[in-house]
Structure 1
């Protein structure tokens, strides 16, 4: 499976123009949003001072923010391995993420909790049982009475299971 590159983008607008009834702005890569000045936005010298991110794509936030906040978050997302980024974004979107010292979603916590991308939680549970040898040594005529559904339902209480945009689910351990 190929992983599509996700490049966060922001629409930065001039607040003075907006307040005067004109929508002046442009799309930029979010990682460089804090480098945009009113002069760069307008293409010439201007007395306007305040810029604001009025729209965004591929940033796990709701609503508007400052260009500085958008750039800080985008650079933080750039540090995540590209193949893990969709799962990291889903974790953030779920609201079950943990913040680091910079008030950003913690990469280390994500890595510790992430149990992979699976077709279903049931597939993950069966794999976990196999890897841990949960039923090893139990004769087949007894093991076949094991209630997989009940065990899987109970096990799921210790995990966050998120729908994956490409199908299947992301599984994260709750600590």
Structure 2
């Protein structure tokens, strides 16, 4: 996993310590690990004193986290594909990584839908149309201008008539059926 300014981190304590009134734990930087097995090994090693005193492996408690999507973590578990997810995202620019997180959480409910990460990435590549948060105030209208240009929809139309084309109205129709926009990111409806 590539280390960046927005490094995913988890504050790991244990339920035993928490039930005893202590928030004792440590921030673990996930970029220090290549997989969940390494991460959990370090967590258990850090809390080994609890193991020694109780004779049972401590029940880890993720009390806080940063830069980890909610669909990858809960108070007591980290999804098995978390490190694969971060590896895939590390190869994307910031806009694309944000779009992939939106796609996973808001569009297809991954990983809860049971799909493999590779299948999810393929679906994302098919669905994602780009980020439209630039010159226009409305991402849908900006996308519509690009769509009309890319499809050549108005090519051959006299310039005097082209001025009367209502991009906003056409854009509303595009987004009623066929496209969806989240925070400037546009996706084809699947």
Instruction: Give the TM-score normalised by structure 2.
Output: 0.72
1:17-50 CA deviation, whole Å, 9 max, x = no partner? 1111111211112364333343323578633521
2:67 aligned residue (58, 61, 64) = 58
The offset of 1:153, in angstroms, is 0.9
The answer to whether the Cα contact below 8 Å between 1:91 and 1:162 also exists between their aligned partners in 2 is: no
* Aligned CA distance change for structure 1 residues 39 and 5 (closer, same or farther; 3 Å): closer
Matched residue, 1:117: 131
Matched residue, 1:72: 81
The offset of 1:132, in angstroms, is 0.7
- 5+ residue gaps, structure 2: 34-38
- Choose between structure 1 and 2: higher helix proportion: 2
1:76-114 CA deviation, whole Å, 9 max, x = no partner? 222122302122223334x21353534899222112111
- 5+ residue gaps, structure 1: 164-168
The answer to whether the Cα contact below 8 Å between 2:12 and 2:43 also exists between their aligned partners in 1 is: no
2:92 aligned residue (82, 85, 104) = 82
Aligned length: 165
2:187 aligned residue (147, 172, 175) = 172
Structure 1 stretches of 4+ with a deviation exceeding 6 A read none
CA distance in 2, matches of 1:28, 1:53: 10
Instruction: Give the TM-score normalised by structure 1.
Output: 0.78
The offset of 1:159, in angstroms, is 2.0
CA distance in 2, matches of 1:135, 1:72: 45
Superposed CA RMSD in Å reads 2.8
